[in-house]
Structure 1
Amino acid sequence: MAEAIVSLVLKQLGSVLSEQASGCIGKQVSLVWDVDEEVEKLTHNLEAIQAVLFDAEQKQIKNAAVRLWLHRLKDVCYDVDDVLDEWNTAILKLRIEGVMIIMLLLRRRRDGGIGKTTLAQFAYNNNEVENKFDKKIWVCVSEPFDEIRIAKAIIQSLKNNTPNVAELEYLLQCIRDSVKTKKFLLILDDVWTENNKKWEPFYNCLKNGLHGSKILITTRKESVARIMKSNDIINVGELSNEENWLLFEKLALSERLPEEYKNLEEIGRKIVRKCKGLPLAVKTIGSLLQFKKSKEQWQHVLDSEMWKFEDTEKGLLTPLMLSYNDLTLMVKRCFVCCSIYPKDYNIDKRTIVDLWMAQGYLRKEKNDENENITGEEYLDYLVTRSLLQKHKSFSDSYMMHDIVHDFAQFLGDKECSSIEVYGDEDSLKNSPRDKRGLPHNITSGDWKISKFEAFGI
């Protein structure tokens, strides 16, 4: 047993030396004076101990002094392993922070800004991070905190299948059994709840994972991170006013003639200042104003009474509402209809166009083919307004930013809904129907059954 522990620690030490030699950790670690010398010294000592361990483990049966020495050795090795685990966590944190420097230099913020989810995705998809874990799990938590859905999402990632049950204790036991032989990385994206009692059952079963497992959360509320007892909190700052202007300029002014640019620049800079350093707000309002040609139209946006309203998203509601109000009636309906999908869902082009068509949201042409073209035009239009995003990996799929999704759900509160039903087909038929006959999504946990499929409409 002692030999196995020493071998594990030596492997950890080798990893630290490799990081030092490759320079992957960066200058920050070099501030720890002589750390490489201490690591090498400890490595040599443990290698010398390892050479006599086999003989010592044989003698401990008859020699109490040797048995005591081995016991103390194991205690020390466990302490060293804990320190090295903290060291590797610090290295991971530095890498993530390094990505934020890099991303600023590459101006990745032009796509909407370096946000919490973007940063978590870089960590999640990093090859070196991936090699350190047996399993990676990504769950969009959102609001409300749905324990059943979250548990099922974790199980799906761990076992590639989801049990068709709605008993939380059963699902938590599945998680507990599945992680006990695995070193995992769990990303909980967009956490809102400050109720520790909802999180505690997950924590109790997840701590059954192998030593070195990590949980990373993203949240808009620092209090949530503290309630969940986060060890390291990285605050993602806002863009500077000049960086926001460059993003806005690219969207709203890049195609303008010099005279037109000069005529609109002053108003544009005032509008950018109203966006409070939030790249999504800048991107949304910039996407709106690229279609506005006159100075009067830009002034109308600047003077809108809506800027005076404070909201929970710190300035995001106004740009979103201004963009939404500029849509035609049918495009508005199509946008709100997208809220029936859960957050982080890949919206299939064919499926959403069929849904719009079934609801009569598309212009009636001579044949279905023309209706499909109209549906694709609506999708492209929503993308140009930054209300939808094209999926980076799948050409026929779309996604909605989580804040935009919240906005769409707010607008569709009385028109669209999502109902998750656990059980067989009979329970789907007995599910509550929307009294207005407008779209809602009824699912059995996999988010694939629309109202029209469930009721044969």
Structure 2
Amino acid sequence: MAEALVNLLVEQLGSVVYHHTSEWVTLVLNTKKDVDKFRSTLKLIQNVLHDAEKKQVEDSAVRDRLDKLKDASYKMDDVLDAWNTEIGKREAEKQETQGSDAEVRFSFRSNCFCLARLNEVTRRYKIGRAIKDLNAEFTKIDVDKNQFSFQSTMHAAAVNVEQPNPRSFTSSFAKGREARPCQGMGGLGKTTFAQLVFNDAQVQAHFDLKAWVCVSDPFDVIKIAKAIFRQLGGSRVTSDELQTILDDIQNLVKKKEDEKEKKILLVLDDVWTEDDREWDSLKLQVLMQSCAKGSRVLVTTRKQEVARIMKATSDMIILEKLSPEDSLKLFYNVAFFDREQDKSNEGFGNIAEKIVRKCDGLPLVLKTLGSLLLYKQTIGEWEEVLNSEIWKVKVVQEEVFRPLLLSYYDLALEIKSCLLYCATYPKDFEFNKEILIEQWMSQGYLNVGGNKEEATQGREVFTKLVMRCFFQDFMQDALTKEIIGCKMHDTMHDFVQYLTQNECLTMEATGPHGTETSSANDRVRHLTLMSAPEGPFPSFISNLANSEILRTLATFGSRITAIDSDLISQLKCLRTLNLSRNKIRQLPEEIGDLTHLRYLDLSGNGMTRLPDGVCNLYNLQTLRLDYCHVLRELPDNMGKLINLKHLHVGDCYSLDYLPKGIRRIRNLRTLDGGTSVYCSEDAKALTFEDLRMMNPYFMGWGKCCK
């Protein structure tokens, strides 16, 4: 991550926008000289970062230096962003006043103008002073780095390849007893095995009802029970009481007067709990007694203790590592896909056998390294992978991480950053591709110094991560067959969390102080809150992380009703705020003080209107308001959001029209309103003609307008 941050700063300092800002810092800087010196220092650091990030895994001193570099880089990014924001605001104000009577405005508001000018000069001075101080800090970091024997290398280039066709699998189902765990270490293919069973034609014919539920950690019995109910065909969960949900499940599977008994297959994927009480609370024994004879429960787990809890130790399927022969077959299928001419090359074959031995029979590792080598065309490149120092790394949480590090370090900078950001999501989460891309944009990971649209580059990055086997379980559009979503393997999720352990914190909001699922520290910049109960936003998050440096705040599976204005005012550096699917009825006006905010997701909440302060979010790129069923209006001054690129207002049934000010947003690329949002002839409303004037992209939106 430090490598990507420094690269971002180098590009920012060399960009055109900063070449037009010398007047801003002349109070404290010899701008051209100091900025050039600063950029030169960053380039010296940049040249050894690739080697430093490899060595940090086993050298705590290197890791400490990189943490300090990241701290300084984040500070500088914030300063440059504040600088850029002020310039952009000034340009926007100029555009807004064009055509107006400037003399009359000036004479009427002369006092206000002078005060505003004084505040502007003060802000410029502070920004210039901060740049000068950080310049000195980076110079010291550059000097300190010389005590390490870093090799000067440049980062890997981006890989441009076409996506290979997915392969199909077949299997037969081994008959089992009532409950059967499938146990093995991460990366062995437990979930894949269970999927093959679940989708087998004989299984389809044998069972009347099937349910697949991802359990993961922590063991949330209410969430699991609701998922079982829905998977077995239940239409709508009407209660949060466990016993009520369990009764509803039994009613689904019980024999009716005019029906036969139902056989069910229930797969509980990725079970971690070793607590008998948690397991008993699900009352699977009672459920199975309500089903027809021949019903089955299949559980996947890394822990043998789970089999004891299920009283199924004699029926445990223990997945072993692949044999050397099967390992080589799997590796060849991936690494030599569409490369038959190389498959028979003795040089490649000898190296492949040595690499496969290092993979130790782990399917996930074999697939990941195979996908890495698929794009390396020479024997020399294969030998670099075989002889990499990463194989010698011992200080990692699992052996499987070592070969994954090889694939990770081979990625381009922007792809690394995008991959690591996935650590902010819970395990087993179904990623929406477009939402993920918009969040990557909000963090500044895309199109650094390039000419492509950020969304276009984001889709390319997503495709490359797919092809490198970092994602799995793909969801496709029914018509286009384009991938629209995916999941991440649990072991891969553990891997990205390991790499971001000082920056990403996931915690359960269970109780007055919460339960951390990773260690808190004052360097946390991405905070994920899980299962917050109904009520105000938990205040204890300020004790877990320095809220003033947070760049992401996200909630999942929560029922928050309000967010305090004092908390909002602390989130000075926030780029991404995801409060979707809560019960928020009102946002504080202080939301407009989050000047760095790029992504705001309020989907599925209960606001009737947005505060006018939202219109002060000058840098906002994405605003998601989908499924806000009672939202009646948007602020009239939406046109001030001149950097807004994506506005989503789908299924906002109470929203009659969009405000006319939106026509001033020239950067808008997506206006997704479905059939529930209309243009109108009302004087305050956006019209279809306004859309035609804004961007050719919206020509296809006419079917939604009346």
In structure 1, the partner of 2:174 is 97
Length, aligned pairs only: 346
Going from structure 1 to structure 2, the CA distance change for 1:371 and 1:342 (only over 3 Å counts) comes to same
SS in 2 for 1:452: strand
Matches within 5 A, 1:168-183: 170-180=241-251, 182=253, 183=262
Going from structure 1 to structure 2, the CA distance change for 1:386 and 1:285 (only over 3 Å counts) comes to same
After TM superposition, give the deviation of residue 129 of structure 1 in Å. Answer: 3.6
After TM superposition, give the deviation of residue 428 of structure 1 in Å. Answer: 4.9
Going from structure 1 to structure 2, the CA distance change for 1:392 and 1:245 (only over 3 Å counts) comes to farther
Verify the 8 A CA contact 1:346 1:399 in the aligned structure 2: yes
Going from structure 1 to structure 2, the CA distance change for 1:311 and 1:120 (only over 3 Å counts) comes to farther
Verify the 8 A CA contact 1:423 1:444 in the aligned structure 2: no
Structure 2 residue 223 is matched with structure 1 residue 149 = yes
In structure 1, the partner of 2:119 is none
In structure 1, the partner of 2:580 is 449
Of the three residues 230, 241, 250, the one matched with 2:333 is: 250
AA in 2 matched with 1:303: N
Verify the 8 A CA contact 1:421 1:428 in the aligned structure 2: no
For 1:142 and 1:303, the matched residues in 2 are separated by: 36
- Give CA-to-partner distance per residue, 1:391-418, whole Å, 9 cap, x none: 1644322222222122123223323443
Of the three residues 160, 179, 189, the one matched with 2:235 is: 160
The TM-score with structure 2 as length reference comes to: 0.43
For 1:343 and 1:237, the matched residues in 2 are separated by: 24
* Percent identity (aligned): 36
Going from structure 1 to structure 2, the CA distance change for 1:437 and 1:312 (only over 3 Å counts) comes to closer
After TM superposition, give the deviation of residue 293 of structure 1 in Å. Answer: 4.1
After TM superposition, give the deviation of residue 334 of structure 1 in Å. Answer: 0.7
AA in 2 matched with 1:194: E
In structure 2, the partner of 1:261 is 345
Matches within 5 A, 1:365-384: 370-384=453-467
After TM superposition, give the deviation of residue 283 of structure 1 in Å. Answer: 1.0
Verify the 8 A CA contact 1:285 1:323 in the aligned structure 2: yes
Going from structure 1 to structure 2, the CA distance change for 1:136 and 1:342 (only over 3 Å counts) comes to farther
- Give CA-to-partner distance per residue, 1:218-267, whole Å, 9 cap, x none: 12333322332126222333322122222222333453755993333222
Going from structure 1 to structure 2, the CA distance change for 1:130 and 1:175 (only over 3 Å counts) comes to farther
In structure 1, the partner of 2:530 is 420
Of the three residues 216, 221, 227, the one matched with 2:298 is: 216
In structure 1, the partner of 2:320 is 237
SS in 1 for 2:219: coil
For 1:234 and 1:315, the matched residues in 2 are separated by: 22
- Give CA-to-partner distance per residue, 1:433-456, whole Å, 9 cap, x none: 773333353124599829831497
SS in 1 for 2:347: helix
For 1:388 and 1:181, the matched residues in 2 are separated by: 34
Of the three residues 341, 365, 376, the one matched with 1:292 is: 376
AA in 1 matched with 2:269: D
In structure 2, the partner of 1:357 is 441
AA in 2 matched with 1:252: A
Verify the 8 A CA contact 2:342 2:348 in the aligned structure 1: no
In structure 1, the partner of 2:469 is 386
For 2:343 and 2:400, the matched residues in 1 are separated by: 31
SS in 2 for 1:353: helix
Mean Cα deviation higher: 231-240 or 445-454: 445-454
Of the three residues 193, 206, 210, the one matched with 2:287 is: 206
The TM-score with structure 1 as length reference comes to: 0.64
After TM superposition, give the deviation of residue 130 of structure 1 in Å. Answer: 4.4
Unmatched 5+ residue regions in structure 2?
1-170, 176-186, 254-261, 505-525, 560-577, 582-598, 604-613, 615-619, 621-706
For 2:217 and 2:391, the matched residues in 1 are separated by: 26
Verify the 8 A CA contact 1:190 1:218 in the aligned structure 2: yes
Going from structure 1 to structure 2, the CA distance change for 1:431 and 1:362 (only over 3 Å counts) comes to farther
AA in 1 matched with 2:267: I
For 1:214 and 1:312, the matched residues in 2 are separated by: 37
After TM superposition, give the deviation of residue 314 of structure 1 in Å. Answer: 6.1
SS in 1 for 2:555: strand
SS in 2 for 1:199: helix
For 1:214 and 1:386, the matched residues in 2 are separated by: 31
For 1:340 and 1:290, the matched residues in 2 are separated by: 29
- Aligned Cα RMSD in Å? 3.8
SS in 1 for 2:322: coil
For 1:259 and 1:353, the matched residues in 2 are separated by: 36
Verify the 8 A CA contact 2:271 2:301 in the aligned structure 1: yes
Verify the 8 A CA contact 1:442 1:454 in the aligned structure 2: no
In structure 2, the partner of 1:140 is 214
For 2:209 and 2:580, the matched residues in 1 are separated by: 29
SS in 1 for 2:551: coil
AA in 1 matched with 2:462: L
